[in-house]
Amino acid sequence: MVSDVVVRAENVSKHYRLGVINHGTLYRDMQSWYARLRGRPDPNVSVSDLSTAKSRSLRMRGERFMALDDISFELRQGEVTGIIGRNGAGKSTLLKVISRITAPSSGHIRLKGRVASLLEVGTGFHPELTGRENVYLNGAILGMSQREVASKFEQIVEFAEIGEFIDTPVKRYSSGMYVRLAFSVAAHLEPEILLVDEVLAVGDANFQKKCLGRMHQVGKDGRTILFVSHNMTAINNLCPKTIYIEDGRVAAIGETASVVQEYLARGESGVNGTHDLVPEELEGKAVIYKVSVLDAKGEPSSRINLVESFAIEIEYELRERLSGLSVGLQIMGEDGFTCIFSLSDPELEPSRLEARMPGRYRAIVRFPPAALNTGSFYIRAGISSRFSIYSVVENLRFEVHDNVGIIQMLGQSRKPSISALQLPWEVERI
């Protein structure tokens, strides 16, 4: 009997030797070396996560850092599987091992079929070649004939919405155009296995929706998909099965709803509505060092009254002059569904293009009474520019309670909904 397993990971580990500095330029290498000599954070580290400092020591084996530690799983043909976990957990490293960008230090990855990957902007593109030439180049890399690529070419260009630029060298493309064409190539050239990382986050909302729809169709066509995302709503909607990775290991694998719930519960952070760390202990160009849920009195609290206003306060530090910044906030329910998403500087706001000077900043977003219904909620906050994510804080938990409503007086519970806003009604006799 022929097995339908197309991806099999057997005791896969990947480790890196710490202390090797290589940022591509002598100036940055010297900058990093001098910072390490003084015991200061590396100024050239681009992403910071509040969980990283605590978990890093648990993943050290002498001078080696275990990016992946004895991971095993199987994926069958046609399965659409999500991969979730905090920044630095090992999700992207796992995809790079599966796509043969890097080899495992130990263990084996066994694949059946062609693999297409979209792991970062412009993956597999040659900047000097045109969009048309890169489409054919990617097809050749996947082992497709020129005729096979030609049969899909019009669909690829139409999906990517870059028809007038298809004969322009891709080095002149914006990051959004890169992503649109790269995803379209990966999704239309019919690989048996498709790997997609969080790179879709740099596209606009309409294109993200379009990509998720295409991935759903690819899965229905019998292709196997591995999808890494911090968007729990997308994971829930797209992936029946999910793998939760924590500190380089598989913490849970199974039905998506239960795995997402375990991820949110296990990853709870902060005490009494506040996640607070010393900025000097964090690495990166921009770092979030404090997130607080504030009650109606402006005091940190993990317990919010339904009929009172509340706020979420985010404190962060910029280590250098940065432009295009925005603080983002997601509030998620216990099932991982995103109830509220908000940006401090919306994408179409001209002020977002202005450079922000180094220093410490405070951002506060305020919510009216009953903006959320009763229940438990989780916060994900981050600092990003249009194409980069600098710092992320996840899974700060708080609860919304109703101590005075008539529903509670009657011994009943509220109907499930995202919001409990009291809307204006008009009642009259006719």
What pTM did the predictor assign? 0.68
Distance CA(42)–CA(287), nearest Å, equals 12
Domain boundary among 217, 246, 266: 266
What pLDDT was estimated at residue 309?
Answer: 94
Question: Which has the minimum average pLDDT: 45-54, 327-336, 363-372?
Answer: 45-54
Give the domain range for residue 315.
274-409
Residue 424 belongs to some domain of the structure: no
Question: Which residue in 5, 67, 11 sits closest to 193, CA to CA?
Answer: 5
Question: Which has the minimum average pLDDT: 1-10, 13-22, 73-82?
Answer: 13-22
% the chain with pLDDT above 90: 23
% the chain with pLDDT above 70: 79
Q: Identify whether residues 161 and 105 lie together within a single domain.
A: yes
Six-digit token pair at 147?
A: 């005729």
What pLDDT was estimated at residue 47?
Answer: 44
Q: Identify whether residues 281 and 303 lie together within a single domain.
A: yes
What pLDDT was estimated at residue 207?
Answer: 72
Domain boundary among 266, 301, 318: 266
Q: Identify whether residues 184 and 294 lie together within a single domain.
A: no
Residue 291 near residue 314 (C-beta atoms within 8 A):
yes
Residue 35 belongs to some domain of the structure: no
Rounded mean pLDDT of 356-367?
A: 93
Residue 426 belongs to some domain of the structure: no
Q: Identify whether residues 96 and 171 lie together within a single domain.
A: yes
Rounded mean pLDDT of 255-274?
A: 82
What pLDDT was estimated at residue 203?
Answer: 56
Q: Identify whether residues 50 and 175 lie together within a single domain.
A: yes
Whether 100 shows a pLDDT value over 50: the answer reads: yes
Q: Identify whether residues 113 and 161 lie together within a single domain.
A: yes
* Secondary structure, 3-state, 238-269: HCCEEEEEECCEEEEEEEHHHHHHHHHHHCCE
Q: How confident is the model at residue 1 (pLDDT cuts 50, 70, 90)?
A: very low
Structural domains in the chain (count)? 2
What pLDDT was estimated at residue 49?
Answer: 44
CATH number at residue 350: 2.70.50.60
Whether 82 shows a pLDDT value over 80: the answer reads: yes
Domain boundary among 209, 240, 266: 266
Tens-place pLDDT, residues 203-247: 566 777 777 788 778 878 888 989 888 878 788 888 899 999 988
What pLDDT was estimated at residue 319?
Answer: 92
Residue 416 belongs to some domain of the structure: no
Q: Identify whether residues 234 and 333 lie together within a single domain.
A: no
Which comes out higher in pLDDT, residue 25 or 292? 292
Residue 229 belongs to some domain of the structure: yes
Distance CA(121)–CA(129), nearest Å, equals 16
Q: Identify whether residues 262 and 283 lie together within a single domain.
A: no
CATH number at residue 11: 3.40.50.300
Rounded mean pLDDT of 115-140?
A: 80
**Termini Cα distance of the chain:** 73
What pLDDT was estimated at residue 287?
Answer: 93
Give phi and psi for 399, each to the nearest 5: -125, 145
Q: How confident is the model at residue 408 (pLDDT cuts 50, 70, 90)?
A: low
Rounded mean pLDDT of 187-215?
A: 74
Q: Identify whether residues 301 and 402 lie together within a single domain.
A: yes
Whether 344 shows a pLDDT value over 90: the answer reads: no
Which comes out higher in pLDDT, residue 411 or 166? 166
Q: Identify whether residues 88 and 57 lie together within a single domain.
A: yes
Residue 418 belongs to some domain of the structure: no
Residue 421 belongs to some domain of the structure: no
Q: Identify whether residues 103 and 194 lie together within a single domain.
A: yes
Question: Which has the minimum average pLDDT: 3-17, 44-58, 290-304, 352-366?
Answer: 44-58
Residue 425 belongs to some domain of the structure: no
Cβ count near 414 (within 10 Å):
14
User: DSSP assignment of 141-162, as one string?
Assistant: HTT--HHHHHHHHHHHHHHHT-
Mean pLDDT of the chain: 81
Rounded mean pLDDT of 65-85?
A: 89
β-bridge pairing 224-228 and 80-84:
parallel
Q: Identify whether residues 293 and 260 lie together within a single domain.
A: no
What pLDDT was estimated at residue 280?
Answer: 87
Rounded mean pLDDT of 44-59?
A: 50
